[in-house]
Amino acid sequence: MTAPAPVDPVGVRLRRLDLASTDPAVLRERAALCRRGAVPDDAVRTGARAILDDVRSRGVAAVLDAGVRFGGSLADGRLVVDRTELRTARDRLDAATRRAIDQAIEHVTRFAETQRPVTTTTTIVPGIRIERRWLPLDRVGCYVPGGSAPYPSSLVMTVVPARVAGVAEVIVASPADADGAVHPVLLGAAGLLEVDALLVTGGAQAIGALAYGLADTTPAIAPVDRIVGPGNAWVTAAKLEVAGFVGIDLPAGPSEGMVLADDGADPVLVAADLVTQAEHGPDSPAILVTASRSLADAVDEEIAALLPRLERHAILARALAAHGRIAVAPDLDAAIAFVDAYAPEHLSIDVRDPDAAAARVRHAGSIFVGPWAPESAGDYATGANHVLPTGGLARSADPLAVEAFGRFTQIQRVDEHGLAAIRETVGRLAAAEGLTAHRNAVEVRFRGRGGARRDGGASGATAGAPGDDR
C-alpha cells in the first residue's frame, strides 16, 4: 500500500462550509457530514469476517497467525498476561503515574455508582405482578486500543463500570506495540483494576478471541457475554459481525470533535480544543461551528501556528486537511441546528450563555460547557465516560455506562384471580392469530380436574366462562 503524502502542518487551512448556502454542492456536502455513519466499508467487513471465521475454527493458531500478519502480538509468543504479572506491574508504577490513574479510577467510579439500575415490581391488576430484575453480566470483554500508543484511560473507562455493575470476570484485549511489548502503564493500570486477564492481540482477531474464547491459553479465555470499547475500523467491523453471537456496546467510528463558539470565544482555546480529537488519527473529523467569520479566520491562523509545536503534528495535519471544517452559520440558532443534525461524539460549547446553548442540544455524545471545560478533561479525569457514540449515533445511543454491563429479566407472577382477569383477552387475541394452543394453555387451567389445585384454589370453572368460545 502506498503511504499517504505528507501534509505541511503550517499550510493546513480548514475547509469552509457556508450553512446559509443553497448551492446544491454545499447542501450535498452538509448532508453527507450529517449522515456519515460509523459502519466500516464492505471491504473491511469482508476482511474482518474472514479473520473471525479463522479464529472460530482454529482458535489460538489463527490469532497468532493474524498477529504475524498484522502485528499486535507479544514478542515472546504469549497471548495472555495473567493477574499475577499485572499486579507486579501495578507495584512498579511510579508514584505520580499511580496517583493519576487512581484519581481517574476514583472519579469514573463515583459517576458510575450513580448509574446502577434498580429492580422494580409492578402490580398490573390484583393477581398479576411483574418484576423487572437487573442482573450483572457474568463475563465481559473490554477492547482497549494500543499499538502506536497505550491508552490506560480507555482501560479505566471500560473496566470501572463493569466492576461497579458487579461483573464477575473482566477480560481485556489490547495489542502490543511494534516491538512486541505492552506499555508498563497499561499493564500497571490493569493490575490496579484487578483485570482477570489481559489478552495481547488487536484488531478483528482480538474480537474473535473474546467472542469465541481460546481454550488453549493459560489461563483459558472463555467466551464473553458482551464486548465493549473503542477501536479502529477492523475492530468495529468485527464487533458488528459477532453481534448476533455476543452482545456489543455500539459500533464506534473515528473520534470526532466539534466546537460551537461565538465571537466572544478565545481563538487560542478554540483551536486547542478543535485539534484534540483529531490527534487520535488521520480519519478523525474536527469541526468548528460559528456565526462569526472573524473567529473563523482567527482560529484558522491559530491552528496553523499550533500544529508544528505538537508531537503528533503529522497525524493532525492529515486529519484536518481531510476532515477539518469550519461551518459558518448565519446565527446561533442555525449553528445549533447544524450541531444537532451532525450529532457529534464530543461537543465543546464556548458562547456567551453556554448553559442555555447546551440545554438546546439534543444530539451529542458528551457536551463540554464553557471555556474551562476542554474535551481532554473528560477523556481522562472528570469521571464521565469517554467511550461515546460516533458517526451520528449520538441521536440514538448512549455513552458507555453501567447499564451496558448488565441486563434485565422479567419475572411474572400470576395467580388464579390474575389469570381470570385476562382470560378473555388472551383467548380472543390467540383465536384472532390462529394460535389455539396459546388459548388452550389458559383454558385448561379453568376446567375441572377432580382435585385441589397446587395453589389451594378452586379446581374448576363455570361452563361457558369468558374465552371458551368453542
Which residues belong to the active site?
345-346
Cell numbers 456565526 correspond to 291
CA distance 19 to 291: 9
Spatial separation of the C-alpha atoms in residues 58 and 272, rounded to whole Å:
47
Cβ atoms of 332 and 356 closer than 8 Å: no
The CA-based angle 427-430-432, given to 5 degrees, is 105
H/E run at residue 442: helix 436-443
- Of residues 121, 142, 123, 146, the one with CA closest to residue 132: 121
31-69 b/e (C-beta count within 10 Å ≥ 16 → b): eebeebebbbeeebbebbbebbebbbeebbebbbbbbee
How far CA 140 is from CA of 13, 176, 188, 198, 291, in Å, comes to: 43, 21, 20, 12, 45
Residue by residue, DSSP assigns 29-75 as HHHHHHT--SPPPHHHHHHHHHHHHHHHHHTHHHHHHHHHHH--S-T
Q: 87-109 as b/e, with b when 16 or more CB fall inside 10 Å?
A: bebbeebeeeebebbeebbebbe
Maximum CA extent, the chain:
92
In the beta sheet, which residues pair with residue 248?
227
DSSP SS3 for 134:
strand
- State the alpha helices, DSSP H only, in 152-199: 152-165, 184-192
According to DSSP, the residues that pair with 120 across neighbouring strands are 132
In Å, how far are 139, 227, 253 from 223, measured between CA atoms?
Answer: 8, 10, 25
Does residue 242 contact residue 208 with C-beta atoms inside 8 Å? yes
Calculate the CA 384 to chain-centre distance.
Answer: 13
Q: Is residue 257 within 8 Å of 276, Cβ to Cβ?
A: yes
